[in-house]
Amino acid sequence: MNTISVISGITPNGAPHIGNYIGALRPTIEVSRNINIKTYCFIADLHALIKLKNPKKIKRYRLEMLAAWLAIGLDPNQVILYCQSSIPEITELMWFLCCICYKGLLNRAHAYRSLLINGKNNINMGLYSYPLLMAADILLFNANFVLVGKDQIQHIEITRDIALKFNSMYGKYFVLPKIKLDKRNKIINGLDGRKMSKSYGNTIPLFCTEKTLYNMIRKIKTNSTKVSDPKDIKNCTLFKIFSAFANKEEIYCLKNRYNEGISWSEVKKIVFDYINESLRSPRDIYLRLLKDYTYINKILKKGEDIARYKAKLRISELKNNII
């Protein structure tokens, strides 16, 4: 039986926040615990260059994201863990893909079209060709599944289109990757009610101090429903964040409290207490790991050696047949 492979990457464009944890870090760990799945986990530091031009910050965020993954339970012995920039074959494959991909396909990418619609003309080629780099990330290791959020589905579809085109020209080299969505992976809103995003400046840091976490949760935007009135959970940021951490029974209990009428201040206290306790141990591990750069480098070296070996074989095979 062929081993199923899954790939998951995260861009180090800021300190890890709760949205990263719910949307990428935790789902990857859950998949990696399946011994029948080969899991590739990478820090997409080349993708970070699209928006972030500060080398010190990229190095810092890269370290923080790695430490966060390890702190919440990623077992480096069960995955192939690497930094994107340490595998030069990724960008080499990207060039091969560039040469068979037409501009019209990239013109349809949501991120690019969104900037055009909003009148942005200073679009760099990194952003424009982002789907090609993502395709190279995936196809280099012939991943069967890609662990992504709903906002990345189009990029996987583009990857499949590119793989089909390549296979039709040179032979069946690439597996057509499928999308793997975490059923619990819902869009989490930030402090202001919009999607939690570094771009909006509304994130809640994953491993901030207890005091900072308390103050952040107190800032979460709520509506003007009276204290004693039933409250709607549908678009409630507090309830969504709580639900991402709690089990079914605990979620059901809080839902009943909403129906009965509970003050927003009490909800915020419940959410803070629960999240703070959930993150207490991982926070301690995370802070310890940040001080042990040697240990993280050792783990990365092991994963990168494996990834590089596989990448070299793949590129060598492709070169022999297309150049």
Give the closest residue to 174 by CA, choosing from 189, 183, 164, 182.
164
Helix (H) or strand (E) holding 145: strand 145-147
What pLDDT does residue 1 have? 52
Class of domain 4-186+293-322: alpha beta
User: Which of the four pLDDT bands, split at 50, 70 and 90, describes residue 120?
Assistant: confident
Biggest CA-to-CA distance, the chain: 72
What pLDDT does residue 142 have? 97
123 vs 97, higher pLDDT? 97
What pLDDT does residue 122 have? 83
**Rounded mean pLDDT of 80-93?**
98
- DSSP strand pairing (79-83 vs 178-180): unpaired
pLDDT (tens digit per residue) in 52-67: 999 999 999 999 999 9
pLDDT (tens digit per residue) in 303-321: 999 999 999 999 999 999 8
State the Cα–Cα distance between residues 267 and 275, nearest whole angstrom: 12
Locate all alpha helices (DSSP H) within the chain, ordered by sequence.
Answer: 18-20, 26-32, 45-48, 55-71, 89-98, 103-107, 110-117, 125-128, 130-139, 153-170, 210-219, 237-245, 248-260, 264-290, 293-322
pLDDT (tens digit per residue) in 247-270: 999 999 999 999 999 999 999 999
pTM across the whole model: 0.92
Q: Where in the chain is the domain with CATH 3.40.50.620?
A: 4-186+293-322
**Rounded mean pLDDT of 16-22?**
94
To the nearest whole percent, how much of the chain has pLDDT over 70?
Answer: 98
User: Which of the four pLDDT bands, split at 50, 70 and 90, describes residue 236?
Assistant: very high
State the Cα–Cα distance between residues 135 and 159, nearest whole angstrom: 5
Fold of the domain built from segment(s) 207-288: Tyrosyl-Transfer RNA Synthetase (1.10.240)
**Rounded mean pLDDT of 210-235?**
92
- DSSP strand pairing (37-43 vs 79-83): parallel
pLDDT (tens digit per residue) in 125-172: 999 999 999 999 999 999 999 998 888 899 999 999 999 999 999 999
pLDDT (tens digit per residue) in 176-218: 999 988 766 667 899 998 989 888 899 999 999 999 999 999 9
| Cβ atoms < 10 Å from Cβ of 139 | 27
On whether the CB atoms of residues 2 and 143 are closer than 8 A, the answer is no
**Rounded mean pLDDT of 227-245?**
91
Q: Where in the chain is the domain with CATH 1.10.240.10?
A: 207-288
160 vs 223, higher pLDDT? 160
